[in-house]
Structures are given as C-alpha cells and as structure tokens.
Amino acid sequence: MLCAARSAGWKRSWLSLGGSLLLALVGGLTAVGCGDDGSSNGANNGSGGAGASGGGGGGGGVGASGGGGAGGEEPVETVPPSGTELIRVNQVGYLPAAAKVATVVAAADKPHAWELVDAAGAVVDSGATRVVGDDAASGEHVHTIDFSDFTTVGEGYTLRVGSVSSHPFDVSPTIYSQMKYDALAYFYHNRSGIEILEQYVGPDHARPAGHKPDQAPCGEDIGCTYTLDVTGGWYDAGDHGKYVVNGGISAWTLLNQYERFVALGSTAGDFGDGKLKIPENENQIPDLLDEARWEIDFMLKMQVPQGETNAGMVHHKVHDLAWTGLPLAPHEDPQPRFLRPVSTAATLNLAATAAQAARIWKELDPTYSAKCLEAAKRAWTAAKANPRVIPNEGAVQGGGAYGDSDLSDEFYWAAAELFLTTGDAAYQAELAASDYSKELIGVNGTFSTMTWGQVDGLGAISLAVVPAQHAAAEREAARTQLIAIADKYLEAIAAEGYRVPFDVGEGGYPWGSNSFVLNNMLVLALAHDFTGEQKYFDGVASGADYLLGRNPMDKSYVSGYGENPLQNPHHRFWAAQVDPEYPSAPPGAVSGGPNSGLEDEVAQEALDETAERAKCTPQKCYLDDIGAWSVNEITINWNSPFAWTVAWLDEKAKSAQ
C-alpha cells in the first residue's frame, strides 16, 4: 500500500471535460468542477455534483418520506439544458424498503419541480425539490429529491428536472444480491501463494500463483537471522506487500460478519459452503470462513518461533526490497522479499484475530481452534512483556509503513477477543481498566470509529455481537456505546449536503475516505440490529447511495457497477490502463476515494493543485487513474467493510419484502 512507483513506460490517460465545467444555467442550476478539470478519468460523465441534506418535506431525518415537499414554497419551473451531470443518484438503484434520495446542483434558493419517469417514459411520481443550500464538503449549492414513498419495483427509472435527467436506476430488493459476492471475490483475486483459477474468476483474471513459496529472511537491519515461510495471505493493496496490521482488521471484519450470522441464528447466511467461487467451496466449512482463514494462516506464520529472540512477537510485514513498477503480475515480481521488524501492534493484531478464530473454529475444527488460541495467548504474553515496540519504517522502500504509536486500542481489542473466547478474569480486568470501556475514540480526529490504526471499535463490536454469557454486562455497555455513535452518524447525514455518514474534518477528507464511510455504515447496521429502528437502515442505505453515484463526482466508486463505475484503480495486475494485455478490475472493488492530501503527483497535476493543495473541495479531490494512488488505490481493509455492508443491505432488503 501507499506505493508511488511507476514503470518507465507508465502513461496517464484521463478525459478533460473542458475546464472547470462551470455552467450558468437558465433557472439557476449550476455544476462546479474541481480545480481546472473536474473530471475523474476515462468514462467520468461530468465533474459537477449535487447534494442533499435532511429529509424531504422539510424534515431533517434520514428516512424522510413524501414527495420532497418544499416547505410551503411554490415550485419554480426551470428549463435547464439536457444532460446527466446535474442530478446525482445511486446509479445501481434503490431498495423499496429504504429511503430514496437524489441530489441536484442548483444555485436557486427556490425549489424546482421534479418527475420520476419509468422505462416506458411515463411519469410515475413527482414533487418539488427541497432547498438545502451551500455544502462545504462539495463546494456546491444543492437541493434534494426525496421519493421514499415510491416502492414500485422496476428497472430503468430516471429522475427529471426540466430537461435534465439522471442516470437510469432500478428500484429493487435485489440490487445488492450479486454485489455482495463480487465484493468478497476481491479477496480470492488477491490471494498470494495460490494459482487463481479460470473456473472461479474467468479467463481474463486467471493467473499463476504469486510468491509461492514466500520464503522471507529477516531484513539485514533488524537483527534476526532466521527465514520464515510466510506463503499465503492476501496482497494488501496495489502492491505485493502483506501486512499483519492491515490484515488484522480485514480478516476480523469477515469473521465478524460470520459471528453476526451465528448470533442471529444462522450458520453463515448466504455464504455457506458452496456459495463462493473459491477452491474450498466443497469442504463442509462456510466459504466466508475459508476466505478469512487464508489470511489468518498467513498471520500465524508471521509469529516469531519458540526459541528465538522475541518469541511470540509478530513481524509487522513482509514485502519487496524496493517498489516495483506498473504493470506487474505477482508471479513476475523480480524483487527479493524480506521480513520487517516485530511490533507490538502486529503482535496484538494476531492476539485478537487468532482468539476470534479460536472460538469460531472450536466446533468446526478443534485442532485448528487450539492452534489459534495458543498463538493468541503467546502473542498477548509477548506484547505485555514488550508493550511499546514501534519500528520506524517511514523511510523503508518497497512497502507501506503502517506506523502506529498509540497501542492502547490494540490492547483493548485483544483483551476483548481473548475474554470473549476464554472467559478469563484477567482479560476482563484489562477491559475494565481501559478508558475505551467508557468511551470509544475517533480515528485521528476524523469522524469514524475504526480503521487499521484505531481498533478499539473492533473490540466493542465483538463484545456487542458475540452472545457469550460471561460477557453480558460488557455486551450491553458496548451496544449502548455503538448506538450513541450511530446517532452521531445520523446527525452527519442530516447535516451533510450529500447525506453521507461522514463529517468533514479540519483537514478535509482523509486518505481512503470511502472506507471511513463504509465502517460508519457498519456501525449504523449494527444499531439497526440492536434496536430495529428504521432510521439506521436508512442511514446504511444513504452511505451506499453516496458510494454508488450520489456524490459530486457523479461516480460509482465500485468497479462494474453503475453507469460511471470505477475503471482504473491503482493495482499492479489490474492494469489495462497502462497495458491492454493486462485485465481491468473485476466487479466489486471499491476505491479509497476523495483525499484532500493528494499525495501523488498524478492527482496533483490533473487537479491543478499547488503546494498548498487547497483548490479542490474535499469530495472532489479524486481522479480515476491508475497512477493516482493516493485517491484511487484499493485495499483489503476497504473491501472488507464493503462486503459486510452490502451483504447486510441485501439481507435486510429481502427480509422486508
């Protein structure tokens, strides 16, 4: 991850839509681009945007209903030019049982008439936009269209304001039914140490095994002399590195998805044996667990063996000696690979996820369960003896640093998982003594509960979900915490122009902003599980709407879905943009999305940024280009909450019918 390397033959290919695309329209509709060019890349159909805030009919809730009332004002008819760049919708569709809100960029302070048109051209619903006003995250003046009361299932609907029409979309309870499988297929595609077979991924994406075997000696600078076989695991992102600290939250998310199913009385939902296109789909184990185990097994291999210095600790990562260029298939990687130093953070990631795996596999595979629990306990003991081992990897080439200097959240997470698995009072005491048992902390000042470097939220979610009798008090406390946080996310949806469950911080949007949205959606989903309240369901759906096209870039940030989907993520193998002999991304990969930092030169150049990087508004700091790694990379810890949340939406949509 975080790789800036390019091959000598690298080229940039993106489509200019003509300056800033500032349109002064009849009736006061406007579309404002980002910097000197607001397009993203390739097929981006417009750089303008639209926003929404509050509910229709003058309400501020997430699930507002009605026809988008204008708060008592008479609709003002407008005749803007034709095009799709001014009305933003979820380009895949809307669930009949959830709120349905579109957004319109409009400079006017009076509402506009809107119509919902079916595939045959008939008007099936109508109303007036609700004026929201200026939106800081997008830099636009926006209105909303709320058509939540419309529930007729169908394909090819469009919204129309004057002569401007939206992209077509469906209203259906099944819009996420295939997406949930494609999102999980991401992990098989990115497995290391195994041939990716045509029968599971098709001819374009099949490839030989990469890094098989992955025999990694210690780097010369870290002081150990052994070599570990760390074959397996998932490639982290656009590079070929494998990182325990990012693997931890990614594997945990898939395992948590399974534990939620079990807590609700299901064995594995739609992810039982035979459901996924993976080699293990006939082994009598739920396929969701088979995929997660591929990463857990790698993490176990990263633990320092008994008898060695630092036994029980875990190596932070393994990756190439130097950055490789684009494109590059994993099996063609020419670089030598090395283990990087042990760290307390990596050690506690293993302690947590191995403890989680131990309770999940207890009945499915007792031998494996015992192996995981033994490794988890050894890791906990080693971390307690070495509570602040923090390697300085910032200058190391060939892989991302994944630095983490605050380890209190990792200790809390690991204690929670070990307590749930064992019931040991010592782990319970660790939880009680932690400040996180009283209040969860946001991620580096951003509006989210969890990311790879802030994992107290993972411990709280496990405590809230797993029905362990010995953790009843902790379960109720954690649920109370998570519901309160979910309410904050609903407040953000009501306040944000694009109704996204994320708040703009002082520094704008962070790296991987879409993953923050997804993790917040996960918390909203759990709040619905705990309370049954519709507002949380609507909140999850609202986040999906943003990711799938209702955003200022008019972009579906998911490959293979929507009229204007993600095309060119930063990935060494899915590199058709730079070499047509390589494949494009398969369906179901999610881009990291807008990032105010714009750390790569390609995004800076395309968005005409200066050293101050202050020109693009937060939600427009994006480019769909393989070279724009700071805004368009893809990673395992971003696709894991995507897989979790779209599966949840599909489940809830079908149960509501």
Identified catalytic residue from 625, 633, 650, 651: 633
Give the three-class secondary structure for 275: coil
Alpha carbons 46 and 396: distance in angstroms, whole number: 39
Q: What is the CA radius of gyration of the chain?
A: 24
User: Residue 265 contacts by C-beta under 8 Å, 6 or more apart in sequence?
Assistant: none
Q: Nearest to residue 414, comparing CAs of 381, 446, 368?
A: 381
Residue 558 sits at φ, ψ, to 5 deg, of -115, 125
Indicate the burial class of 473 (C-beta count within 10 angstroms; 0-12, 13-18, 19 or more). Answer: exposed
Q: Which of 624, 625, 650, 651 is catalytic?
A: 624
Give the HSE-up count for residue 238: Cα atoms under 13 Å, Cβ half-sphere.
32
What is the 3 state secondary structure string of 137-163? CCCEEEEEEECCCCCCCEEEEEEEECC
Three-state SS at 548: strand
Q: Please confirm, yes or no, whether 211 is among the known catalytic residues.
A: no
- Give CA–CA dist 535/541, Å, rounded: 10
Work out the number of other CB atoms within 10 angstroms of the CB of residue 301: 20
Give Cβ neighbours of residue 591 (< 8 Å, ≥ 6 apart). 514, 557, 558, 566, 569, 624, 631, 632, 633, 634
Burial class (CB in 10 A: 0-12, 13-18, 19+), 285: middle
Q: In what order do the strands lie in the sheet with 337-339?
A: 242-243, 317-320, 337-339
Residue of 570, 600, 609, 625 with catalytic role: 570
C-alpha–C-alpha distance, residues 148 and 400, integer Å: 44
Question: How far apart are alpha carbons 352 and 110 in whole angstroms?
Answer: 54
Which of these, 281, 290, 282, 280, lies nearest to 258 by C-alpha position? 290
Cα(198)–Cα(337) distance, integer angstroms: 28
Name the token pair of 320: 């190439």
Q: In the structure encoding, which two tokens stand for residue 657, read together?
A: 């019918």
The Cα–Cα gap between 225 and 287 comes to 37
Give the integer Cα–Cα distance in Å for 591 and 214: 28
Give the Cα separation of 393 and 384 in Å (integer). Answer: 22
Decide if 545 is catalytic.
no
For residue 11, the number of C-alpha atoms closer than 13 Å in the C-beta half-sphere is 8
Contacts of 20 (CB under 8 A, 6+ apart): 32, 33, 34, 35, 36, 37, 38, 47
CA torsion sign for 471, 475, 481, 482 is positive
Active site residue 570: yes
The catalytic residue positions are 570, 624, 633
